[in-house]
Amino acid sequence: MSENIKNEWIDWIEEAITKEYFKYYDYSQFSDVSVIGTGGFGKVYRANWKNSKYLALKSFSNFNNATAKEVVHELKLQRDVDFHNNIISFYGITADENKKYLFVLEYADGGTLKQYLKKYLNNLTWDNKFNLAYQLASAVSCLHNEGIVHRDLHSGNVLVHQNNIKLADFGLSKRLGDATTQSTFFGVIPYIDPTRFSKRKNSTDPIIVYTLNKMSDVYSVGVLLWEISSYRPPFYTEGESYDVSLVVEISQGHRETVVPNTPEEYSKLYIECWDGEPCNRPTINQVVERLKTILMKSIILKTNSIAGNCFSLPEFEMNFLIEDNSSIDNISHNSLNSLHGQISQIINNFDAMNTQEIIDTLATDLELVANKLESFIFKITNEGKNTLGLRKQYIFDYLSKNELSKGAVPVTIAPEELFKWLLCHQNKPTYIFLLGYFYYLGIETNINHKKSFDLFFDASESMHVLSQYFVGECYQLGNGVEKKEKIAFEHFKRVAKKGHAMGQLKLGTIYDKGIPGIRKNSRKAANWYEKAADNGNNLAKYNLAFMYKDGTGVCKNYKKAFSLFKKSAENGDPDGMSMLGYCYNNGVGTPIDKMKAFESYQKAVKLGNISAQYNLALMYEAGEGIEKDIDEAIYWYKKASEQGDRDAENRLKLLEEIKKEDEMILFKGNFHNSKLFHIKHYEYNHFKNIQEIGIGGFGKVYRAKWKKSPKYFALKSLLNIDEDAIKELVNEIELQREVIFHDNIINFYGITISDQENQSNDIKKYLLVMEYVDGGSLSHYLKENFKNLTWKDKFNLANQLASAVSCLHDEDIIHRDLHSNNVLISKNIIKLADFGLSKRIEETTQKKKDIFGVVPYIDPKKFSNRSYSLNKKKGESYDGSLAIQIIQGLRETAVPDTPVEYVKLYTECWNDNPDNRPSTHDVVERLNFIINQKQDENLDEKLGEITNQTENKDTILNSNNFEVSSHGELSKMIQDFDKMDVNQILNENITLNNVEKSSRGELSRIVQDFDKMDTKEIMESMTSTSEEIINNKNISSENDLIIKVNKITEFIFEVLNKRNSSNLKQKILDYINNQKMNSKEICNWLCDNQNYNSNSIFLFGFFNFYGIETIKDNEKSINLFINASEQDFILAQYFIGLYYQSEYETSENKKLAFEYYEKVANKDCAIGQLMVGYCYDCGLAMCNLGFCYKYGKSVGIEKDIDKAIYWYKKATEQGDLSAQIELEELTKKSDFFM
């Protein structure tokens, strides 16, 4: 190797590291470095990175010109497929003490496939083998979809990590083989496509042959599939090596024999893969599909035994989740558009390229992307499509779409890659601006307005238009610089004068509303809007349309307004679509067309327009432009209401009342005609093989097949139906539809009506059509499988259950009846059932003894506190004595060797005090933490020990502890509770054997009727001194917070009344800290108790107004101030005045500000008197009221100097210096004119 070649390689590496094309690892941070493999390319080491995780280091030996290029090539290929889970990940590069460079790769802890198969000799199930084969084929499919041919597939470079295939050494080892020894070559003969040997270039060299291609990889995959089935390499005999005679035999059609008992579909597949003629072999995508079919068929056939198979091997876990077909299609689609879609070009022209050309190619691509991106930002900004909240998503969407191209080669670069490149290329205004834009929006970095402003300003000095515009926006919004709207105006003016619509729109907006130093001028606003609209700005068209509609700044012209709204809508503006709907609906500039109005509103709501949601609801309610549908109307009123539309909120309340009256329509013979619910109706006579599979207080559950489908459905009926029960059924349907998206909640498909005879004419027998779960209840599953479950399995089940309940809570649904008999399970997947119905249905058909099956799961707070209602923090906690013991704090003991974190979690969940229980979100997060924490531990080995210790313990395996009896008599039991004494409860002999009935409905009776119970004997056990102490402590804690809230409010009043309001937020924070108060604790209390009194309402508004321990929200704060002001709270009235004073665009706001200041002033408060003086002085409560009278009509009242002087005097008397200054000024003027 010449020095020149060596230097070229090193230069390429160093330049690539400098430009951060990949991560550089400091070799000194690696420890415990040891050789784990060697080959023709060099050696592979295992090394510990910063004592955190093991990585693989891959070295290279015998570098020559070809090798250097191949290293570069592998880097590019590796980046193309780094996303695939079954391909070894490339992390970066490092250099050892001798300055020799090494690849840093993912470390595969299972070694090579060859070693792995030897280790697990005869221990893998066929499902395990199918899964390994599928992963291997999937990885090769990914390569082929990216235009990469491996050419060197064998069990020595297929790795295994945590029982998953990891394909390695593609794109490099196939060519480095030329530098290896002949013995090394013969070691991989069985895996090489024999076509290579049979199509020789000449008779003297049997090895230099036909070029290997994708079908050659398929041949190798076929051999590997056989090897997976047999646990050994092909044609392997202990102590013997392959030689040239094997080459001849394979070329003549010799293949390995099928292993006995191999499934026919599997053997047929690999035999087709190693066919001698490449054209007869399947493609790799076909191999993937056929393996997927084989694996899925095996899973279906062995549904009931999969759980056992999964745990048949120590430390062995298999993932049987097969990727969706679309994943392969997506890989193929994405590959056509990747940055390295140039691979085919690079491969074809590689000999003609040097490493500098490769670097230049990457750099040129990034320059192209940067320039194209700048043009895109210019376009959307100029067209008025750069809404602040959508800008970031626009960039991500644009970069992810394949709109950037260089010649015929599509180019896609990740935002992270572009950001890193921009950091190193700040030599052009375009790149300076783009880096500022990334900081401005927080793309691949944190938002930093100061940095973004500095970068915009630097680029603007080079007359960069976008930078000038964004400098103006920074001044306008106060982003990274002090807010100065007049300076912003000047920057926008420069952009506008250059004829750019973005600047023209801004000038129109400023003249439309006015800013300090620039008066409102509707004519100028209309003029600038028109210029921007003519230049294609969509927002300008929308604003100008309003001016024509209202006759503001231009002559009223409805047709012109309609035309502009239509253009705005056609350009994708949701506001324009909404107003176009308004025009069609009301005949503004166009004939009334209700259908077109509906279509326009519908398009707008899909893009999130709130007013369109309300208008769409109106049309559904009235049946205009669409068939009348109250349910849809309620849906859209609710959507609009959730976003603050008060009109929608009022309509929603009204319609919900009407809906309650109409609910029975669904169930009284009018189901087919009712539009109340959009649910699928199944014809009952299309169900076949109907079998009863369960019964409980609610009714019966059947299993049935639908038409000719092999799929089973569950049919759930109700017994003893009356109108109340039907209402509950309606409720359950609604709740089911709210959470149908969650994987761990039983699916609701629709409803059917039984055609059985002797049914009531008014009320038919309705059945819910639901997902059928074949694994039974959690109770049954634990009984059958407990010995085989690892802690990881238990954590996973717990996490799924918590996730399902959390989903209910997010939708404001409280289950109220969680126990192991209505938690179902299928293929290790939890399915939560029976929520929203069982808690309310009254049932009185079961026996007294059946109700106690659910007692351990009931929140004990319900028994000890009559006024307590079950809620989101209810404990998921058998006879009467047990109920009393639970009230007194009795809980199950932890199973030996249960992880401490898990014990701590469930003991917190069943805490006697609901306030001390974690939320379901917290439970999910903590379970995720436990799962991640335990992931790398050898839990299976510990499980063996735990199982041996607990094998005979009834508390774990006794079915009575897991199964819950039917609950139908609970309501009757509670009704008769007054007639029972404690001894009767304690002495009752209760049998719980052989009970597998559902027990849901009775909890509702506990909730509803407990207040009627005579529980004196039970309650006596709850009146201990210790509980009184706890309760008093809680009350004391709340009183402390109330006192703190009052003190803070008083301090705010004191500060403001002394006219010392500068830096008010910091003053309040300093006061809270000095008083050793916790602002977060106070904010949380205010959030939960904001309506406690006027102080708490105001202070919560104050926290929202200034963003103290919460997000700043002016709208929310004003609403709170208004609520407090209605209770005649002075500070709230003052802040409302301030708000309206700051919104001085309209005379109405000026009057409102004056009215609120006057209310404060009339209570002898200086803060109000100052502002009222200001109002009179201006023509705003005593000094502010004086200001209002001073300036007169400009603030919405008649100017009155005498009243201004009066209120300034009132404020001065209370020590207000600002009022005194104003008073002196007015007095001098008054004397001068006398």
Residue 1223's Cβ-side half-sphere holds a number of Cα atoms within 13 Å equal to 22
For residues 912-916, give the mean pLDDT: 81
pLDDT at position 399: 82
| Closest C-alpha among 833, 860, 721 to residue 772 | 833
pLDDT band at 726 (very low <50, low <70, confident <90, very high): low
User: Which residue intervals of the chain bear CATH 1.10.510.10?
Assistant: 12-298, 670-840
Higher pLDDT, residue 78 or 927: 927
Cα dihedral sign, 708-714-718-724: negative
Which of the listed ranges 169-183, 330-344, 698-712 does the model predict with the highest average pLDDT? 698-712
pLDDT at position 1227: 64
Determine which helix (DSSP H) or strand (DSSP E) holds 746, and give its type and residue range. Answer: none
d(CA 319, CA 297): 15
pLDDT above 70: residue 406: no
Q: Are 528 and 502 in contact (CB under 8 A)?
A: no
pLDDT at position 631: 82
d(CA 454, CA 206): 68
pLDDT band at 21 (very low <50, low <70, confident <90, very high): low
pLDDT at position 512: 92
For residues 1085-1107, give the mean pLDDT: 84
pLDDT at position 198: 64
pLDDT above 50: residue 842: no
pLDDT above 90: residue 757: no
Residue 42's Cβ-side half-sphere holds a number of Cα atoms within 13 Å equal to 18
Residue 364 sits at φ, ψ, to 5 deg, of: -60, -40
pLDDT at position 946: 37
Percent helix, strand and coil across the chain, each to the nearest 5: 60, 10, 35
pLDDT at position 526: 92
In this structure, of 567-576, 627-636, 656-665, 1050-1059, the range with the lowest mean pLDDT score is: 656-665
For residues 299-305, give the mean pLDDT: 53
pLDDT at position 609: 85
Domain spanning 12-298, CATH class? mainly alpha
- Which residues lie below 8 Å from residue 1022, measured CB to CB, with a gap of 6+? 864, 887, 888
Written as six digits, the tokens of 896 are 């030996």
pLDDT above 60: residue 965: no
pLDDT above 70: residue 654: yes
d(CA 279, CA 256): 21
In this structure, of 416-420, 672-676, 1109-1113, the range with the lowest mean pLDDT score is: 672-676
Cβ burial, residue 566 (10 Å; 0-12/13-18/19+): buried
pLDDT band at 240 (very low <50, low <70, confident <90, very high): confident
User: Which residue intervals of the chain bear CATH 1.25.40.10?
Assistant: 559-661
| Euclidean distance between the first and the last CA atom of the chain, given in angstroms as a whole number | 105
For the chain, give the mean pLDDT. Answer: 72
Higher pLDDT, residue 876 or 193: 193
Residues in the chain, total: 1234
Q: What residues pair up with 235 in beta bridges, in sequence order?
A: none
Which of the listed ranges 191-195, 365-369, 1002-1006 does the model predict with the highest average pLDDT? 191-195
**pLDDT tens track for 561-600:** 999 999 989 888 888 999 999 999 999 999 999 999 999 9
pLDDT above 80: residue 190: yes
**pLDDT tens track for 997-1019:** 333 343 334 334 444 444 443 33
Cα dihedral sign, 115-118-124-126: positive
pLDDT above 80: residue 463: yes
pLDDT above 60: residue 1113: yes
pLDDT at position 1168: 56
Higher pLDDT, residue 543 or 151: 543
pLDDT at position 895: 83
Kind of pairing, strands 405-406 and 680-682? unpaired
pLDDT above 70: residue 302: no
Topology of the domain comprising 559-661: 1.25.40
Architecture of domain 670-840: Orthogonal Bundle (1.10)
pLDDT above 90: residue 287: yes
> Which residues are documented as binding site?
58, 716
Which of the listed ranges 844-858, 967-981, 1093-1107 does the model predict with the highest average pLDDT? 1093-1107
pLDDT above 60: residue 314: no
pLDDT above 50: residue 466: yes
**pLDDT tens track for 1139-1191:** 777 654 444 566 677 677 677 666 655 555 555 454 544 433 444 555 555 55
d(CA 262, CA 1036): 74
For residues 425-429, give the mean pLDDT: 88
Residue 562's Cβ-side half-sphere holds a number of Cα atoms within 13 Å equal to 16
In this structure, of 368-382, 904-918, 946-960, the range with the lowest mean pLDDT score is: 946-960
**pLDDT tens track for 1021-1076:** 333 333 433 344 343 367 788 888 889 988 888 888 766 667 788 888 889 988 88
pTM above 0.75, yes or no: no
Higher pLDDT, residue 241 or 1131: 1131
pLDDT above 90: residue 2: no
For residues 279-287, give the mean pLDDT: 92
| Closest C-alpha among 116, 183, 179, 190 to residue 152 | 190
pLDDT above 50: residue 348: no
Written as six digits, the tokens of 229 are 């089935």
d(CA 617, CA 629): 9
* Residue 766 region by backbone torsions, left for phi larger than 0, else alpha for psi between -120 and 50, else beta: beta
Residue 741's Cβ-side half-sphere holds a number of Cα atoms within 13 Å equal to 5
pLDDT at position 590: 93
Q: Are 456 and 430 in contact (CB under 8 A)?
A: no
For residues 696-718, give the mean pLDDT: 77
For residues 311-324, give the mean pLDDT: 34
pLDDT band at 228 (very low <50, low <70, confident <90, very high): very high
pLDDT at position 8: 63
d(CA 474, CA 458): 14
pLDDT band at 1134 (very low <50, low <70, confident <90, very high): confident
Residue type for position 573: D
pLDDT at position 911: 83
pLDDT at position 840: 34
pLDDT at position 1115: 78
d(CA 74, CA 87): 13
pLDDT above 90: residue 865: no
> Which residues are documented as binding site for ATP?
58, 716
pLDDT band at 366 (very low <50, low <70, confident <90, very high): confident
